[in-house]
């Protein structure tokens, strides 16, 4: 137990150092950093403008009111923001394989998956998380939560959001691991981003049964934002919470296995 | 302008594109995912009996499919970053001592990428032609094809100029991401511009972005009167001219500051 705690402490320390290094690197050119932050802010603002425009024509989107839909959008934005801030959607995998620098990480006495995951974190994307929280608070204040145990709902919402982060990370890791076979496919990051981006709208819009099942199991989009928002608004149901936690564990385990399998195909092209 | 050297650049660009076929198709799958969500989103809206502006459901789906195709054709990829590196690493010296113009070099390379994408997209989307293009007239298609050159040029010149700003700003990645976000929204790639709020429409009307996606779609679908078509073509060409002159001016001013490190 003592050993495990010490190990976690070391990993946390490495992570903090890596975040600090990313911050220093990004802010080396302050003007550029401010502009990037502004670009992220504008992207979020335009995203919300799009939702606003849709609701100019409708009252509800597949049963979700404007403010309820904003809860989903902000939940997605939190996950997306955290993915960029903490591991930059695992862009490190591509860059390290492409340059052959993965060798440097593999020979280090720490887990390679961890090292490649924290290899880059984009500090400007904290703006994304801040805007997401702002949107969340704004939407939450407009929703009638009478009869709901807000504290309990919020606890389970946070748990499911943590699961959503793990699922997104695992999906990203599994997809990026394909790069070990073909480094040409740089667009893989786009696939991961576009798949997770689909979760910013209520998954109830997928009215075809087969597609709904697909997006609840194979690619569990529903558990990235819609289910957490449902739990917050209507209270936790054992089915939602257990499925969310179960899926996160399964996806993390499988992606880890796939990463280790893919790593065996690393041929260290250059260094 | 000696066209032979640019023809070679164009051919090289095509060959380079054909090497990365797998990457192209992966990118296409990624775009297909985002198109799928848009289609489902609007299907959901129309299932509730709502109507978006003057668009029927089919018209809106056609709009999004064509906007995706145009978006893929006009996209400049990492052009600003490429120019940024050329200037920062001193590689520009090679362009200065050779009879090759940086802007034309980049433009023809960019056009070669567009041509390959266009050809691939025409093949991939062919099963849906009857649905997508059933109401499209040959004359509209011809004008659209011509206008696409204006769209490609406007988009190229905007991002080329951002790259050239490296002379003054050293780092332009932030500016490039800011403009790509704004261009995507104000060009009509995310939402048709005619259903935007009135205040946004005013901003859109005075900027060149509408000529990149929205106007070409309106031309192709025939939702434009003869008078508006003439002013759209004229407006597009004026913007190409303005951006071209601005790009030349910025480049020349930048060269005065260039210190030719590295190379």
Q: How far apart are CA A73 and CA A47, in angstroms?
A: 9
The distance of Cα A47 from the centroid of its chain, to the nearest Å, equals 17
Number of H helices, E strands in chain B: 13, 0
The distance of Cα B75 from the centroid of its chain, to the nearest Å, equals 4
**Residues in B lying within 8 Å of A, measured between beta carbons:** 19-20, 22-24, 26-27, 29-31, 33-34, 36-37, 40-41, 43-45, 47-48, 50-53, 169-175, 177-178, 181-182, 185, 190-191, 195-197, 200
In the block, tokens 């089919």 appear at B58
Q: How far apart are CA B252 and CA B230, in angstroms?
A: 33
Pick from A242, A87, A221, A95: nearest CA to A167: A221
- Read off the pTM: 0.88
Q: How far apart are CA B232 and CA B218, in angstroms?
A: 10
Contacts of A196 in chain B (CB under 8 A): none
Query: Would the CB atoms of A61 and B44 count as touching at under 8 Å?
Result: yes
- What ipTM score was computed for the predicted complex, to two decimals? 0.84
pLDDT tens, residue by residue, B52-68:
888 899 899 999 989 98
Q: What is the pLDDT along chain A (271 residues), one digit of tens a residue?
A: 788 888 899 999 999 999 999 999 888 888 889 989 999 999 999 999 999 999 988 889 889 999 999 999 999 999 999 999 999 889 888 888 888 888 888 899 989 999 999 998 899 999 999 999 999 999 999 998 888 889 999 999 999 999 999 999 999 999 999 988 887 777 777 788 888 888 889 988 887 888 888 887 788 888 999 999 999 999 999 999 999 999 999 999 999 999 999 999 888 765 4
Contact B39, B10 (CB under 8 A): no
Q: Which residue of A has its CA nearest to B54?
A: A57
Query: Which residue among A191, A194, A205 sits closest to B44, beta carbon to beta carbon?
Result: A205
Question: Which pair of tokens denotes residue B238?
Answer: 């004026």
CA of A196, closest CA in chain B: separation in Å?
A: 10
Q: Which residue of B has its CA nearest to A202?
A: B41
Q: How far apart are CA B222 and CA B66, in angstroms?
A: 13
Of A190, A201, A222, which to mutate for an interface test with B (greatest number of B Cβ within 10 Å)? A190
Q: How far apart are CA B154 and CA B213, in angstroms?
A: 11
Task: State the burial class of residue B69 (Cβ atoms within 10 Å of its Cβ: 0-12, 13-18, 19+).
Answer: buried
CA of A52, closest CA in chain B: separation in Å?
A: 10
Number of Cβ within a 10 Å radius of residue B128: 11
Does the CB of A186 have a partner CB in chain B at under 8 Å? yes
Query: Would the CB atoms of A191 and B45 count as touching at under 8 Å?
Result: no
Query: Which residue among A49, A182, A201 sits closest to B37, beta carbon to beta carbon?
Result: A201
In the block, tokens 């996950």 appear at A79
Query: Would the CB atoms of B52 and A57 count as touching at under 8 Å?
Result: yes
Does the CB of A271 have a partner CB in chain B at under 8 Å? no
Q: How far apart are CA A70 and CA A76, in angstroms?
A: 10
Collect all residues with Cβ–Cβ distance below 8 Å to A225 and sequence separation of at least 6: A72, A73, A75, A76, A79, A164, A199, A200
CA of A1, closest CA in chain B: separation in Å?
A: 44
Helices (H), chain A: 2-26, 30-57, 66-87, 91-99, 102-106, 112-117, 126-141, 150-176, 188-197, 209-214, 226-234, 238-263
Query: Would the CB atoms of A31 and B191 count as touching at under 8 Å?
Result: no
Which helix H or strand E contains B235, and what residues bound it? Answer: helix B226-257
Quick one: chain B helix, strand, coil %, rounded to 5? 80, 0, 20
């Amino acid at each position: 137990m003592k050993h495990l705690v010490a190990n976690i402490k070391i990993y946390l320390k490495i992570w903090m150092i890596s975040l600090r290094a990313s911050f220093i690197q990004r802010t080396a050119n302050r003007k550029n950093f401010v502009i990037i932050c502004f670009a992220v802010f504008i992207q979020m603002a335009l995203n919300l403008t799009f939702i606003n425009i849709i609701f100019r024509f409708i009252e509800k989107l597949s049963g979700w009111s404007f403010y309820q839909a904003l809860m989903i959008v902000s939940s997605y934005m939190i996950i997306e923001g955290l993915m960029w801030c903490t591991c930059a959607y695992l862009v490190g995998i591509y860059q390290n394989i492409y340059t052959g620098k993965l060798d440097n990480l593999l020979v280090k006495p720490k887990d390679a998956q961890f090292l490649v995951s924290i290899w880059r974190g984009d500090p400007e994307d904290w703006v994304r998380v801040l805007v997401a929280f702002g949107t969340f608070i704004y939407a939450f204040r407009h929703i009638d939560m009478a009869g709901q145990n807000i504290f309990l709902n919020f606890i389970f919402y946070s748990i499911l959001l943590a699961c959503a982060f793990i699922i997104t990370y695992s999906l990203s890791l599994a997809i990026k691991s394909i790069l070990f076979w073909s480094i040409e496919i740089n667009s893989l990051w786009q696939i991961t981003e576009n798949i997770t981006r689909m979760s910013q709208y209520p998954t109830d819009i997928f009215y075809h049964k087969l597609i709904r099942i697909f997006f609840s199991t194979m690619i569990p989009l529903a558990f990235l934002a819609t289910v957490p928002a449902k739990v917050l608004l209507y209270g936790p149901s054992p089915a939602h919470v257990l499925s969310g936690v179960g899926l996160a564990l399964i996806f993390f385990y499988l992606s880890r296995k796939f990463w280790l399998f893919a790593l065996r195909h690393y041929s260290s092209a250059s260094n | 302008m000696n066209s032979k050297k640019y023809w070679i650049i164009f051919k090289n660009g095509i060959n380079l594109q054909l090497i990365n076929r797998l990457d192209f198709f992966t990118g296409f799958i990624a775009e297909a995912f985002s198109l799928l969500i848009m289609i489902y989103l609007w299907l959901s809206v129309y299932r509730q009996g709502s109507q978006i502006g003057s668009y029927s459901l089919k018209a809106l789906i056609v709009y999004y499919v064509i906007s995706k195709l145009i978006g893929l054709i006009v996209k400049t990829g990492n052009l600003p970053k490429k120019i940024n590196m050329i200037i920062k690493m001193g590689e520009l010296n090679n362009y200065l001592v050779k009879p090759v113009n940086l802007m034309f070099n980049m433009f023809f390379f960019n056009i070669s990428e567009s041509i390959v994408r266009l050809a691939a997209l025409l093949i991939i989307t062919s099963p849906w032609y009857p649905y997508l293009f059933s109401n499209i007239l040959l004359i509209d298609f011809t004008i659209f094809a011509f206008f696409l050159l204006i769209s490609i040029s406007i988009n190229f010149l905007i991002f080329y100029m951002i790259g050239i700003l490296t002379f003054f700003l050293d780092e332009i990645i932030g500016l490039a991401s800011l403009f790509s976000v704004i261009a995507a929204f104000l060009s009509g790639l995310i939402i048709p511009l005619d259903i935007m709020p009135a205040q946004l429409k005013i901003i859109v009307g005075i900027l060149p972005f509408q000529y990149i996606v929205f106007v070409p779609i309106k031309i192709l679908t025939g939702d434009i009167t003869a008078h508006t078509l003439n002013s759209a073509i004229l407006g597009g060409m004026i913007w190409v001219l303005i951006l071209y002159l601005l790009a030349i001016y910025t480049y020349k001013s930048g060269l005065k500051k260039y210190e030719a490190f590295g190379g």
